[in-house]
Amino acid sequence: MHPIHTEQGHVSGIHHDSDVSAFLGLPYAAPPVGRLRFAPPSPAEPWDGVREATAFGNAGIQILPGAGDLRAPQSEDCLYLNVWTPAADPGAKLPVMVWIHGGGFLYGAASEALYDGAALAARGAVVVSLNYRLGVFGFLSHPEAGTNFAVLDWAAALRWVQRNISAFGGDPGNVTVFGQSSGAAAVRALLSAPSARGLFHRGIIQSAGFEHPVSADYTADLVARLSDTLFERVGTSDLDALRGLPHDTLVKASLTRPAALATPGRLHTPADLVWFPAVDGDVVTDGFAARPENMPVMFGTTQDEARYFHRPGGPVGGPPVSAEQAYTPTALAVMARALVPDRADDALAQFHDRGLPTYEALTELTTAAVFHEPALATYERFTAQGRTAYAYRFARVSPGNRRSQMLAHHMAELPYVFGQVTAGAGPDADADADYDTTDTAIRDAVQHAWVEFARTGTPRALDGGAWPNCRARDPHHTVIEDTVEARPLNPGPLTRLIHSTRDK
């Protein structure tokens, strides 16, 4: 394989048996350390000779433990990206798919095995994944330095793609940004980032990034208050002094939450994010500053999102217990008042009338309040604006997730998107395998839809049929279950109840 020329210099990568080549650990900006800590990203330095792009770059400093094996060291020097391509030919003009990882903006990395882009690239796309500054390093607010540094990191990576991706066979005029959880919130932020305008052409928002009623108070003022608390804890707000502090000092001081999120008895939900992109009127604006009228967006949720956060075997990190022991009626009542303050009693009455066990009620409550109702509001917003959008619900429950009772939990679609589903169960096979032949069929359908959306702006079934777009009359969405099919958009009673409290 011949070296590829980038703006910074020549690189060589790894060639897979699937005819996909990988180029790992490419710097898209200078290390944000020293005087570049709490500053917009600066251009990466050029190099002489050929850079061996065969190992992942550093992961960002992990603010909380959460990810599994990062497969890379942690460092503030983390502004690296990875490229997988099936055709390192400048004339190929393949669609480009840029992945932003999740992890609550507090943990995670593009190097995690789950996000390997080789199988998706083999479907006919150039896949890019990137690391960015997490937590306080990405979102501190300082009167001299500004805020939303991570948003500027994402935009810098997209500028690198514009300048370099054609050498890897990608089309800089056809770039899709996609992400899941906080990575989806990053896509939503980029739609409102003036610095990203013209750098991408489609967006996929997986399980977050919607109009969120719970996080309505997550503003630039709140980030400024969190930052002021950090300044008090470290004993200085002087920018030079902050840039000189050890990173672990900043991490420790940054682990704080507003009092409103520390209600006794309340369980953790994704609404408890601490450091996040907020509308500051500069880096992130109110509206869609980077979304032209003709930019299509695809968005969706999983059927049982909250089972990732409220595990059937008890909270993550705690001893294994039964759901009845871990999740009590008192906790359910506290969460109802936290998540649906105006209709908490009505929500609890619904659960009682339906005879739902406490755990089932709790997971339905968090799923509806944090994911399904905001997605419904997004559906209505896009249709009211006349913008092209496609909605989906991932409801496939693999044998492994059925066995663990995790069902179609938050992140359940990711192995299908990245092609990490292999059938191992069947009439004459291992009954304890995680996936079966239905899962491999759904994997193929999901990857095809994602790549078709990146290629054309319209997600399609394997037979070529287009997914239904969001529309006010006769609203439909695509349900990915044991089959993939269009169904009427029919919110459940709890989602409708929560939706009735939203300011229209």
Considering all CA atoms of the chain, what is the largest pairwise distance in Å, rounded to the nearest integer? 71
**Tally of residues, the chain:** 504
> Which residue in 101, 310, 372, 410 is the catalytic one?
410
> Which residue in 112, 305, 373, 413 is the catalytic one?
305
Active site residue 410: yes
The Cα 286–Cα 279 span in angstroms is 6
**Cβ-count burial 140-164 (b if 16+ within 10 Å, e if not):** bbbeeebbbbbbbbbbbbbbbbbeb
Active site residue 76: no
For 487, the token pair is 């169904």
CB 76 within 8 A of CB 148: no
Q: Percentages helix, strand, coil for the chain, rounded to the nearest 5? A: 35, 15, 50
Helix (H, G, I), strand (E, B) or coil at 85: strand
Active site residue 181: yes
The helix (run of H) or strand (run of E) holding residue 338 is helix 329-339
> Which residue in 181, 195, 207, 254 is the catalytic one?
181
Beta-strand ranges (E) seen in 279-351 are: 297-302
Helix (H, G, I), strand (E, B) or coil at 246: coil
The Cα 469–Cα 392 span in angstroms is 10
CB 25 within 8 A of CB 80: yes
For 275, the token pair is 């450091």
DSSP for residue 370: I
Active site residues: 181, 305, 410
